[in-house]
Every structure is written in structure tokens, then in C-alpha cells.
Amino acid sequence: NAGVTQTPKFQVLKTGQSMTLQCAQDMNHEYMSWYRQDPGMGLRLIHYSVGAGITDQGEVPNGYNVSRSTTEDFPLRLLSAAPSQTSVYFCATSGLAGVNEQFFGPGTRLTVL
Amino acid sequence: GQSLEQPSEVTAVEGAIVQINCTYQTSGFYGLSWYQQHDGGAPTFLSYNALDGLEETGRFSSFLSRSDSYGYLLLQELQMKDSASYFCASSGGGADGLTFGKGTHLIIQP
């Protein structure tokens, strides 16, 4: 089992460009989430989903969109990239143990110029 | 809302014991989790305390006191590979994810 996978590992964008960060899991977990991690800021929740067809906003949702058409995939879309979105993005899932025990993907390092 | 405070950096000696503290202020609280993150890596789950008291998992233990809004992670028999950042995190009981502290960078000296 691959667990939680994220693509790409690294990405450089210019201001105003759009892109989609991919997240896939083979753990059959209903709950999936996206966090961003900035130096000295810890991890902050962007969006989350409790199952296919259901998404909701976290602490810092502005500038990001998500959708959940399948249990396995939870892509994060940047509509018009800004330098403030330069960060490391982590996708995470959790199963029956609840949100307190989350499994993180390897992360995507995004730089917006 | 929730906020969690932890020291930014702790230094310890290989083979020793170190305690990383976490205090929290929350409008709803269901438990305290701990995660480890090595430089350049992803966070990995270490432990979760839903109830007051000590939870032990090998060399790592975690403690929670709800009355004091306080918890800690205890690492014993420190090894160089334990050099990492450690995050406490809490949930409000719903499905809306975790709120993380800013992390404690653990430096281990030989």
C-alpha cells in the first residue's frame, strides 16, 4: 500500500498562475484534509472532507478550492497564485481513530514568484 | 477557537530524558495529540491523550491534565535520530481537523 501520495513534490509558479496539487490515498479513509506549513507557524488547516461529495473550510481557506468526487482523491486548487501562498502543503487522512490520528503525505513544496 | 503554546526549542543530551510541554486554550477540547517531524519530512503521529493521565508507547510517553490545560511529551533514552520537531495538536471534537502548536525543535547533543 502506498498510503498517502502527493504530486508534484516541488513546484514553482508565477503570480497569477493556477495549478492543482494532487492527493491520493489507498487507506479507504473517509476523512481527508489539506494543511499548509510555514516557518514558525506550525500547520494550518485549509480545507477538509468527511467523505465523497462533502467538503468544508478550515482555518485558512482563502485562495484555495477543493472537491471530493471519490474516496481516494482530494485535489487542492490554487485559482490565482500569490507569493503569500509560498509554503509546504500536506495532505492528510484519518480513519476510524478519528481526526486526532492523521496520516500525512510527503508534502508539496510550492514557491510563487 | 483553539491555541496551543509550546517552547520553540529544547536541547538535551543523548541518552537522557527530555520533556516537551504544551499548554492550550480552547473553546472545545477533546484531547491532545503529538506529532514528530524530521527536517524535510512529513509529520508522523506519536500519541493521543483523550483522558487525563499518562500514555506510554515505548520510549515515548504523553501526559494530559485537563484541569491545568496542560500536557507534555516525554522522550526517554534519547537517540540522535530523535532530533526533530515535535508538535502538539488538539481537536474540538468535530470533524474539522486539528489545530497545531508551532512546534518544538529538539536538539540532541552527543
pLDDT for B95 equals 64
Flag if A99 and B43 touch (Cβ within 8 Å): no
The Cα of B110 is separated from the nearest Cα of chain A by a number of Å equal to 26
Could you tell me the end-to-end alpha-carbon distance of chain B, in angstroms, rounded to an integer? 40
N-terminal to C-terminal alpha carbon distance within chain A: 36
**Model confidence pLDDT, tens digit, residues B39-65:** 999 999 999 999 999 999 899 999 999
The mean pLDDT value for B76-87 works out to 97
pLDDT (average), residues B29-39: 93
Mutation pick from A100, A104, A108 vs chain B, by most beta carbons of B within 10 Å, is: A100
Give B94's pLDDT tier (boundaries 50, 70, 90). low
| Cell numbers representing residue B26 in the block | 480552547
Assess whether pLDDT exceeds 80 at residue B1: no
By CA distance, what is A39's nearest residue in B?
Answer: B102
Assigned C-alpha cell, A25 = 490515498
Q: Which residues fall within 8 angstroms of residue B94, CB to CB, at 6 or more apart?
A: none
Is B48 close to A100, i.e. CB distance below 8 A?
Answer: yes
User: What's residue B47's pLDDT?
Assistant: 94
Residues of A in contact with B97 (CB under 8 A): 33, 35, 45, 48, 58, 99
Q: pLDDT averaged over chain A?
A: 94
Please confirm whether the linkage preceding A8 is cis (ω < 30° from 0). yes
For position B14, what pLDDT does the model report? 97
3-state secondary structure of A97: coil
pLDDT tens-digit series, residues A25-74: 999 999 999 999 998 778 999 999 999 999 999 999 999 999 999 999 99
Cβ proximity of A113 and A13 under 8 Å: yes
A9 touches chain B (CB under 8 A): no
d(CA A46, CA B97): 10
Q: Which of B36, B64, B90, B96 to mutate to test the interface with A (most CBs of A within 10 A)?
A: B96
Residue A83 is given by DSSP the state G
Rg (CA), chain B: 13
Contact status, residue B43 vs residue B87, Cβ threshold 8 Å: yes
A-B C-beta contacts closer than 8 Å: 61
Question: Is the Cβ of A30 closer than 8 Å to some Cβ of chain B?
Answer: no
Residue B5 in contact with residue B60, Cβ under 8 Å? no
The answer to whether the Cβ–Cβ distance between A45 and B97 falls below 8 Å is: yes
pLDDT-derived band at B83 (thresholds 50, 70, 90) equals very high
Nearest to A56 among B45, B48, B96 (CB): B96
Higher pLDDT, B64 or B28: B64
Return the amino acid letter for A4. V
pLDDT band, residue B93 (cuts 50/70/90): low
